[in-house]
Structure 1
Amino acid sequence: MTTPDQDLLSGTTTLDALRRLVDDVAALVDTVDDETWQAASPCPDLPVRDLVGHLVGGLDGFTRVARHEGGPAFDGPAVDRPAAAGTYREAARAAVSAWSVPGRLDEVFAMPWGDTTGGQLVGFLVVEQAGHGWDLARALGRPATLDERAVAVADGVAHAMITPQMRMPGMFGPEVATTTGATAPDRLAAFLGRHP
């Protein structure tokens, strides 16, 4: 495994990637209609309605961590389809704001898996938003046109973070081979265990 460029893993870079990704994911949520709200997604057991809730829940959970209000939970709220885009955007705005507080990215947080910097936590959130952003695009029948720089950051974090022990149901599946010419979002999805 190659060592990711450390610049891609810095706190300020992961926060910039998060800002870019949530804009792209919000644009996808904007296109969800009543029919696609019920559609299956590539993420097992998460149809689009629950996938959007999961994305919101991840943002909310890491916002609570940044504010010292609790731990990261990815159980998302029940989101109404007409309010989905606004709910997602508000959760994204709150997360970016919480992690933009001076010094927050360098702060060390006591997490269940060990001490983790704010920048690393934002990196986890970038992987989550990029991976599930890909899921959402595919569920909607669209190419995953996510910001290239943000996807590169997500890929670097994923390669640094994901161990063989984490490849289990409910976490990450086995890495999937990709074809020559696969897009960066497809390669990231394949590394996370999706089938592009």
Structure 2
Amino acid sequence: MSKVENNKEQKRNSLLDSAFTLFIDNGFSKTSIADIVKKAGVAKGTFYLYFKDKYDIRNHLISHKANQVFQAACAELAKHEEIKDFEEQVLFIINNILDQFAGNHNLVLLISKHLSWGFFKDFLSAAPGKDIPSIYETYEAMLAHAAHTYRTPDIMMYMILELVSGTSYNTILYEQPVPLNQIKKPLYEIIKGIFIQYRES
């Protein structure tokens, strides 16, 4: 990456980081573009080089943070070469992401509240950066080495994502109906059941 490209990336990331802090602290509706650029220390015109409006930066921010969480989980998985089974790899990634969310409730508030499937599908296919595969590309690579083949793997992934998102939100933020560590075992058993259901005979 050239010095110019690196400077652009730093400005974009500074805007994203500032928006994240302000959206969490003040709320989306009470945060203005002027607030974001002031906190980032850049000119207002710079904002429009990267984002169309406040809604656009929020969507990019969700992608940015969600990708960071996913890439961190994949980096941890890479340290465990003994985990070769596709289904075990998926469960490892889910467990790691849930632990990251448990350690940073702000991520849960940002990511879980604003994801629709239409947005999420586009996000899954978008590469987060040069030489970094998209989440969907990573998923396909894992599938290619799976011991089983699965019918409609996209729908299988959708079912798992919706289940994990819906189940974990209240357990992480409010420990309702039980704390996260108590929901994990039954949650993972259901996910294993989804895998079995979608395996091709």
Q: TM-score, normalised by structure 1?
A: 0.31
Q: Higher Cα Rg: structure 1 or 2?
A: 2
Task: Name the one with the larger strand percent.
Answer: 1
Q: TM-score, normalised by structure 2?
A: 0.31
Larger RCO: Structure 1 or Structure 2 (Cα < 8 Å, ≥ 6 residues apart)?
Answer: 1
Task: Name the one with the larger helix percent.
Answer: 2
